[in-house]
Amino acid sequence: MTGVLVVTGASRGIGAATAKLAARKGWSVVVNYLGDQAAANAVTADIIDSGGAALSVKGDVSDPAGVEAIFRAADSLGPLAGLVNNAGVVDQPARVEDMTAERLARMFAINITGSFLCAGAAIRRMSTRQGGAGGAIVNVASAASKLGSPGLFVDYAASKGAIDTFTIGLALEVAAEGIRVNAVRPGVIDTEIHASGGMPDRARDIAGSTPLGRAGTADEVARAVLWLLSDEASYSTGSFVTVSGGRALTP
Ligand code: NAP
């Protein structure tokens, strides 16, 4: 199965790698971004130069108007068949007693509400109950939900715990409507998210404590996402693929 795919937060990192790999596998891709238009346009240009179809769309996943813009753009490419809920943020390392209400609201709005709003927009288009042809949703969760991230960002880990539960509940809710919902659970992946969380060397620092001896790459996560989107995963729903080099293997 291919068709139109929305990848949120696709201007860099795991989202950009997913968008490019999806295009190579025949998907027409909406490359969503929030602030970095130049980076998103570079991803889109790369896809188009390689013979694929893509367009970049600015939109905040935590804002209904942003979600509307993202999915209107998807409609212009054709019938929606997939969504990758990838956009997510961390914050500076902090203990729970030092976390402000503003910090928590931003984290949960982007990481949790954003995934719910985008899934809702996708289901309204893909559900066979609503006249759609079915499809697949992949949520980008995190090994942090199993580790808890004490002293760093328990708020982030908890937001990904919500994504774990969201994945199971939504998978069961729409299973009879032609939509599969699964998640990838990355460990430490070498992207710019760590610099945005005040730890630019995290991917290198974590290598020694990772069973496979290194951080992962965005491409390694993208390959798992594309498998879950594909018909190769036709009997998988409500499931998790851990891409963590052996860290946090608790089911
Ligand atoms: P990243 O390099 O920091 O990229 C984040 C992307 O999300 C950017 O494209 C950014 O767009 C976009 N974004 C941020 N806020 C947004 C919003 N409100 N609306 C729409 N887009 C937004 O992150 P990454 O490392 O690739 O992580 C991607 C996902 O994997 C996240 O959900 C993250 O929690 C998860 N994850 C990452 C790791 C890791 O070690 N890297 C591990 C486990 C899970 P702009 O740049 O245009 O603002």
Q: What is the pLDDT along the chain (251 residues), one digit of tens a residue?
A: 789 999 999 999 999 999 999 999 999 999 999 999 999 999 999 999 999 999 999 999 999 999 999 999 999 999 999 999 999 999 999 999 999 999 999 999 999 999 999 999 999 999 999 999 999 999 999 999 999 999 999 999 999 999 999 999 999 999 999 999 999 999 999 999 999 999 999 999 998 899 999 999 999 999 999 999 999 999 999 999 999 999 988 76
What secondary structure letter does DSSP report for 134? -
SS (H, E, C) 2-63: CCEEEECCCCCHHHHHHHHHHHHCCCEEEEEECCCHHHHHHHHHHHHHCCCCEEEEECCCCC
Cβ(186) to ligand 1 under 6 A? yes
The answer to whether the CB of 61 falls within 8 A of the CB of 67 is yes
How does 87-103 read in b/e, with b if 16+ C-beta sit within 10 Å?
Answer: bbbbbeebeeeeeeeee
- List the catalytic residue out of 27, 153, 156, 240: 156
Active site residue 33: no
**Which pLDDT score is estimated for 124?**
98
Q: Do residues 248 and 242 lie in contact, with contact meaning Cβ atoms separated by under 8 Å?
A: yes
Q: What is the pLDDT of residue 251?
A: 67
Distance, first Cα to last Cα, the chain:
28
5 C-alpha to ligand 1 centroid (Å): 17
Instruction: State residue 24's pLDDT score.
Output: 98
Q: Write phi, then psi, for 3 (nearest 5 degrees).
A: 155, -145
- Distance from Cα 65 to the centre of ligand 1, integer Å: 20
**Pocket-testing residue among 83, 117, 191, ligand 1, by greatest number of atoms within 8 A of Cβ:** 191
Query: Which positions ≥6 away from 105 have C-beta within 8 Å?
Result: none
Look at residue 250 in the predicted model and tell me its pLDDT.
75
Residue ranges and CATH numbers for the domains of the chain are 4-243 (3.40.50.720)
How many Å separate Cα 50 from the centre of its chain?
Answer: 23
Angle at 127 (CA atoms; ends 240, 170), nearest 5 degrees: 35
Q: Tell me, what's the pLDDT at 249?
A: 85
Other Cβ atoms within 10 Å of 168 Cβ, number: 15
Does ligand 1 have an atom closer than 6 angstroms to the CB of 33? Answer: yes
Token duo for residue 132 = 């759609």
The response to whether residue 245 sits with its C-beta less than 6 Å from ligand 1 reads: no
Atom of ligand 1 nearest to the CA of 203: 40
Dihedral of alpha carbons 14, 19, 20, 21, sign: positive
Q: Which atom of ligand 1 is nearest to the CA of 66?
A: 19
Distance 217 CA to ligand 1 centre (A): 14
**Closest ligand 1 atom number to CA of residue 218:** 26
**Helix (H) / strand (E) containing 162:** helix 154-174
